[in-house]
Amino acid sequence: MISIKQLNYALAVQKTLHFKKAAELCHVSQSALSTALSELEKQLGIQIFERDNKKVLVTSVGRDVLRCAEKIVLQVNDLQGLADSQKMPLSFPITIGMIPTIAPYLLPKVFPVLKQKYPQAKINVVEEQSDALVDMVRAGEIDTAVIALPYPCEGLLNLEFWQEDFYWVALKGDERAQQKEISSLEVNQSKLMLLKEGHCLKDHILDVCKLSGQKNSHDFGAASLNTLVQMIQCELGTTLIPAMAKEQLINENSELSAVHLNEPSPHRRIAFILRPNYNSLSSIEALAGICKQALINDQHAS
């Protein structure tokens, strides 16, 4: 009989087009995965994959089989979710995706509150950019994801729990760093450095500052906000950061100053995204509540 395990193995090979990488993804040996897939093909009487020493290809009929497999795996996951929904919130493992401009700043605030309210909770976190997380939620590879809105995620539900503004970061020696507010025009006149393409924070900043479509000569294509802050310390320019990152990146650095961006608020909205038929909504709602409370506590502390 065909098993869910075999289907998951086949979907992993489709994703990686590599048996060794698929085995690592499924946490099994390559020989175990290969044997299971050979048995699956034997049971179906068709060849799903063409493989040699250099590459793996999905056959034409294999693509049809894998589309069907995706639906079956999602339905099984939903069945498990239905059973889990009858349990106490966060009484079962949940995998959450988070974008890099949220994860390192939100998680340290959230986990102490989470451990206090739900000590039994088992949370796994995957850090990826928004486009990858949206695809992973749709495919059922993760339960939910925390992303910044606006962002295209048609077909998914969003559970918004926070709104925040951006702060312009510069060395304290810059005369504009002494201001309480800064306009987008002043920001554009500075040597503005942004994250590389693919980070939604870059798009949000360009939209808020009305710079969409303009190419900035000082865009280093950095992969993290920490890198941008280090560039500022080297007197290479300025940047914008979200409010939740201010304490970690700025408050403990005596050389830097953060000035509120004087543009209509909020500059970005934070939300959980999930599939419409995800059956453990109560757990996601509980997580959203914890995230909101943690951020409120942080605001009061600062």
Least reliable range by pLDDT among 140-144, 228-232, 298-302: 298-302
Mean pLDDT (whole number) for 128-134: 96
Residue 195 and residue 143 share a domain? no
> Residues of the chain with pLDDT > 70: what percent?
94
Q: Do residue 107 and residue 20 come from a single domain?
A: no
pLDDT: is 215 or 274 the higher one?
Answer: 274
Measure the CA–CA gap between 225 and 196, rounded to whole angstroms: 11
Q: What is the mean pLDDT of the chain?
A: 89
Q: Which of 50, 85, 120 is the last residue of a domain?
A: 85
DSSP-derived secondary structure for the chain: ---HHHHHHHHHHHHHS-HHHHHHHHTS-HHHHHHHHHHHHHHHTS--EEE-SS-EEE-HHHHHHHHHHHHHHHHHHHHHHHHHHTS-TT-S-EEEEE-TTTHHHHHHHHHHHHHHH-TT--EEEEE--HHHHHHHHHHTSSSEEEEEES---TTSEEEEEEEE-EEEEEETTSGGGG-SEE-HHHHHHS-B--BPTT-HHHHHHHHHTT-TTPPPTT---BSSHHHHHHHHHTTS-BEEEEGGGHIIIIIT-TTEEEEEE-SSSPSEEEEEEE-TT-S-HHHHHHHHHHHHHHHHHHHHH-
Are 223 and 289 part of one and the same domain? no
Is residue 155 domain-shared with residue 188, that is, in the same domain?
A: no
Residues 154 and 283 in one domain: yes
Instruction: Examine the pLDDT at 102 and tell me if it is beyond 50.
Output: yes
Domain check: are 62 and 208 in the same one? no
pTM over 0.75: no
Residues 149 and 132 reside in one and the same domain? yes
User: What is the total count of domains within the chain?
Assistant: 3
Q: What is the CATH number of the domain that holds 43?
A: 1.10.10.10
Does residue 246 sit in the same domain as residue 178?
yes
- Kindly compute the dihedral angle of the four CA atoms of residues 59, 64, 68, 73, in this order, to the nearest 10 degrees: 30
Report pLDDT for 106.
96
Domain boundary among 85, 111, 126: 85
Lowest model confidence (mean pLDDT) among 83-92, 223-232, 269-278: 83-92
CATH number of the structural domain spanning residue 252: 3.40.190.10
| Same-domain check for residues 8 and 81 | yes
- The answer, yes or no, to whether residue 281 has pLDDT greater than 70, is yes
Residues 6+ apart with CB under 8 A from 276: 155, 156, 157
Using alpha carbons, select from 164, 136, 124 the residue that is nearest to residue 274: 136
Tens of pLDDT, residue by residue over 196-236, are 888 999 999 999 988 865 555 445 678 899 999 999 999 99
pLDDT of residue 54: 76
Is residue 292 predicted with pLDDT exceeding 60?
yes
Of 244 and 91, the structure prediction assigns the larger pLDDT to 244
Which range has the top average pLDDT, 101-115, 184-198, 243-257?
101-115
Phi/psi for 277 (5° steps) reads -100, 15
Are both 130 and 197 inside the same structural domain?
no
Q: Residue 104: pLDDT above 60?
A: yes
Q: Are residues 115 and 149 in the same domain?
A: yes
List b or e across 170-188, with b for residues whose CB sees 16 or more CB atoms inside 10 angstroms: beeebebbeeeebebebbe
Q: Which structural domain, as residue segments, surrounds residue 133?
A: 94-160+269-301
pLDDT at residue 213, rounded to an integer: 58
Contact (CB, 8 A) for 239 and 232: yes
133 plus 77 within the same structural domain: no
Last residue of a domain, one of 49, 65, 85: 85
